[in-house]
Amino acid sequence: MMENSAEELAFAEENLYLNLCSDPIRFEPGSKVTIIFYDDANQQVFAVRSGGATGVVVKGHKDNLKCSFRMEDKGPVLSIKFSPDLKILSVQRSAHSVEFMNFVYSSENLPEYSQSCKNKNATILGFIWIAFNEILFITKLGLELFQVYPEKRMLKFLKNVSINVDWFLHSPESNILVISSTGGLIQPFQLKPGNIYKFPKLDVDQATSSQATPERASERDVSIASLYNQTAVLILRHKPKSSTCSGAEIDVYVLNREKTTPKSHVLKLDTSGRFAINVIDNLIIVHHQASRSSMIFDVRLSGGFDGYATYHQTLVVPMPIKPFQLKLPMSTTTPLGEKSEIDCELYSVNWVVFQPNVIIDAKLGCLWYLQLKLDSIKNLMHDKIRLVEFFLQRSNGKKYILKLLQSTIMAEECVPDLTLISGMFDKLNENYKSFLDVEMQNQMSLPVHGKSERLASKGIVLVDQQDLYTHIFSNFANCSNVTDQFVVIILTEYIRSLSQFQIPVQHYIYELILHAMVRQKAFYQLHQFLQYHVVSDSKPLACLLLSLEGVYPAAYQLALDMLRRLSTANDLIVEILINKQKIIPAMRFVQSCERTDHISARKFLDAAMKTKDKSVFYAVFKFFEERNIRVRGTPVFEANEMCDLYVQHFQSVFGKSSACSNFFADGAPQ
């Protein structure tokens, strides 16, 4: 029984798809004396002791973000941040002003200068640096934008926006500000240096079927996230509008600059309680404190659609974050045998979550970056076609797709499922086609069908023919359980999928399938493939057919027919015929192309002489004499044609040269 439990535990840990980074940023834990602040724009943690009088320690994930300094204690610190260039420190201690300190030359005894609200009746809720010298005050009565002049130790008022503000959120990644205003209105703004652009408001569902009063979103239930290069506002609904819902939902609003933003996606949580949200690689991670587990959602994958929004279930079964052991600082006085690590409490009430993937435990003094393990998700998602769709959206998903295809196609323990493989190919090529369409549109620099919006590819990564050839198809020869018949079946299915999405098939894919047919002597099938154009015409493919003439004589004629159909390979056809010492057919082909006035006489005369067939040489020589008469009025070759050797050979064999009747009509002397 103990063995089974150990196995189950190992299996469960193997399937945990979330973990905390192994090297958290450590800082002094919060206490009555020390207050912890986090600036998500610069990703810095501030530990402020005694209002700064006994020190401020700043830490970040990079060395240039770390520093320490002292400030005069002028009261409790409400907020503290550096400017984007880390040269100006801004501190809010009151509800009506923000203080500034130039941090360029020294970190001690910093002279301060302050700025009050432009509106004397306003109360500052917070502030945001939107450029290295521009700061925005968010007050209960609106927005006030200032320009900072550090050398003059002063600020200049630029502009304001009047709006009642209950609370606000800001995304440094997209510089989007979201404000909750009177009546639960959610109003987004785009912040840019010198400007504040107002977005259309969110079309927020507020009333539920069982409540007459609307459920107003609180600050802790709203997040701003970047999803697939679009900014989205996520609103947690503890009591959703739908009466059939068995738990909370998250409404996703993708911001639109042109019109009111409607709800476009709904994440079904199927439980209630306290939640927190992170975003990793365009995946929405929802942490549930009561069950100590996390759910994962992808708005790019298909879901139920009610005509207005797409409803998504969690992609895989909810799982806890992988257990984390925190190393304790060791000292010379630490007793032997004492623990050097402690187990961290996951989903702690002390956790505070920031976008996109930051988790802070102020009481413990740790900042972690949440990480995602795609290997574990692969083990939990059993629908392989949906798994391919999932991996196409991940930034490093290509290697997982190739591994998945390889294990599916080359499965040793069972017969591969052709229907499954076909579906996987179709997902890859649908995505492949979307990339080609986007590339074509970008090259043309024009909207498609008169639409103003530009196309977007279906996936983040591209798995093309070269990838499959290199990692899968070319390895068939190394697999003892893969037969040539199986190779033909798989490649035929792949070619079908490419053709379905109007993607040109590369010649190396055709080469693989033709070689497999020849090895199993499936010549009739090969002929059928060519005759019914399952295999598209190309010069490389024609050359391959020529190389197969030794084992399949008909391949020679098939190659010539293919080259003729291409109509762009006339020179190659001539070379092939000459190399085969079929000089007369080569001459006839040149005549059919009406190119006799421009071809090299020397090439044909040399080839004819090498055949040691007098009649062939005679015919070719007379052909070019007649051409010379037609073009220049004389049978004599020009000096730059360098045909003296062949004239001498003709005279030595047949006597003095003379223009005579066309060999092709009258024949040649024997």
Residue-wise pLDDT tens digits, 376-387: 998 899 999 999
Residue recorded with tokens 């019914």: 532
State the Cα–Cα distance between residues 647 and 643, nearest whole angstrom: 6
Sign of the Cα torsion 503, 505, 506, 512 reads positive
Q: Yes or no: say if 616 and 650 are a contact pair by the CB < 8 Å rule.
A: no
Backbone angles phi, psi at 292, to 5 degrees: 50, 50
* Omega before residue 200 within 30° of 0, cis: no
In the three-class reduction of DSSP (H, G, I as helix; E, B as strand; rest coil), residue 653 is classed as: helix
State the Cα–Cα distance between residues 281 and 589, nearest whole angstrom: 60
State the Cα–Cα distance between residues 69 and 62, nearest whole angstrom: 18
Region 175-179: mean pLDDT is 95
Under 8 Å CB-to-CB from 250, ≥6 apart: which residues?
234, 235, 236, 237, 266, 267, 269, 275, 277, 284, 286, 297
Separation of CA 234 from chain center:
22
Q: How many CA atoms lie within 13 A of 324 on its CB side?
A: 25
**How do 265-268 and 310-312 pair as beta strands?**
parallel
- Which position has the higher pLDDT, 599 or 495? 495
Q: What is the mean pLDDT of the chain?
A: 85
pLDDT band at 622 (very low <50, low <70, confident <90, very high): confident
Residues 19-41 pLDDT 10s: 999 999 999 999 988 999 999 99
- Give me the count of residues in the chain: 670
Nearest residue to 96 via CA among 115, 79, 73: 115
Residues 580-600 pLDDT 10s: 778 888 788 777 776 777 778
State the Cα–Cα distance between residues 237 and 208, nearest whole angstrom: 10
State the Cα–Cα distance between residues 401 and 386, nearest whole angstrom: 11
**How do 275-280 and 351-354 pair as beta strands?**
unpaired
Q: According to the model, what pLDDT value does residue 330 have? A: 58
DSSP string, 54-81: T-EEEEESSGGG-EEE-----S--SEEE
State the Cα–Cα distance between residues 452 and 64, nearest whole angstrom: 43
Q: According to the model, what pLDDT value does residue 197 have? A: 94
State the Cα–Cα distance between residues 516 and 526, nearest whole angstrom: 10
Residues 403-420 pLDDT 10s: 999 999 987 666 778 999
State the Cα–Cα distance between residues 279 and 298, nearest whole angstrom: 10
pLDDT at 3 exceeding the cut of 60: no
Burial of 655 (0-12, 13-18, 19+ CB in 10 A): exposed
Q: According to the model, what pLDDT value does residue 662 have? A: 41
Count of C-beta atoms within a 10 Å radius of residue 125: 18
Q: Yes or no: say if 91 and 80 are a contact pair by the CB < 8 Å rule.
A: yes
pTM higher than 0.75: yes
